[in-house]
Structure 1
Amino acid sequence: MERPNTLNALLRDQTGHGRLHQVVSREFGQERLEVLRPSVGQLANRLISRFVARGQAELMEDFAVPLPLTIRMELLGVPESDRENLRYWVDEPGQQDDGLGYLSDLVNHKTTHPGIIATTDLLGRLCRDEGGPERLSDVELASLAWLLLVDYPVTAGLIRAGVLGTDLVRPADPVGLGLPLALTEARIATGLLRERCRELTTGTPGPRSLPITFLAATA
């Protein structure tokens, strides 16, 4: 079986680059991304609720990092039982082959066992895509999924900058792959976090409580 790799070869090839742009523009348009709003909001509120009682949190580890990583795994339809292993492969240097191998198996499973595709299951939709010559191959789909996962620090940085009010250099995104998703995730998550902190500080509409202190915010 052909091993997946990054999309470097696809990006170097003008035909492949055009196909990728068609897929990205369709799947990462603002209207499609807005479908993620409930999922991002629910996850953001769950994460906030875990540290609200403590009154303090590590901004990156408790919020900015797990939010985009979890959302992207949900977007790719990764079973919850596999997410811990997949995060290890994403975060640890030298584990790309294992991560890509898993995603290749996931693409194969979604292709051969179509079933019912959830609205937010991007990978499931792309595996079922019969839209003609612009369809990405299974190897390309696994590579695309990998790039989405390893790109989660862009969202984490955007959330950090939004919460702390710091400057952030606009990240490079030559194919428009991850930035629209990252901006959507960060905008929703940061807005909810600010709202919850405001409620905690003012006591309205919820009961009065201590504001949240963020630790290790420069991590």
Structure 2
Amino acid sequence: MILPIVAYGDPVLRKKAADIAPEHPKLEELISNMWETMYNAHGVGLAAPQVGLPIRLFVVDTTPFSDDEDLSPEDQEKLNGFKKVFINAKITEETGKEWDFNEGCLSIPDIREDVKRKPEITISYLDENFKPHTETYDGLLARVIQHEYDHIEGIMFTDKLSSLKKRLLKGRLEKISKGKIDVDYRMRFPNIKKGR
């Protein structure tokens, strides 16, 4: 089932999400719905807060990035078919010299900005079977994971922009929160005027 994606301005996107247990109600169904929702919106990652749930769960599939001709064949191969569920994730280390990359977000449609992030991360998480993993990722894989991880920490990519950039985007962000935007996927807007 395709779930509505929560738009910028909803308080759920600002909550630090809570860990979940294996007996979390309808978890398998939720994960399946999140995949369907993400693919429908042409995303490469989706976090539970983006569908209104303040829990530490996100999904990532970087396959669409593997077509990027600017990437090395090695990087294209890493991204192709990388599809994972991250539960109760914790980034334990971020290393290297920060680099800029243009990011967007399904909760903030039509806004893309360069964001600085460290190129390598180590993350501990549980998969959909609650099997523990600790893995190190770099490059675009690390970036997509960092972006989704921020969501379960209550952080948006726009928080990482300069104060000037934030001021320039303020009006556009307010319009998004009021639903004054055309999107081709289901969304839930926090500040939409009732009776429209």
> What is the TM-score when the length of structure 2 is the normalising length?
0.30
Higher relative contact order structure (alpha carbons within 8 Å, sequence separation ≥ 6): 1
User: If you compute each CA radius of gyration, which structure gives the higher value, 1 or 2?
Assistant: 1
- Which structure features the higher share of strand residues? 2
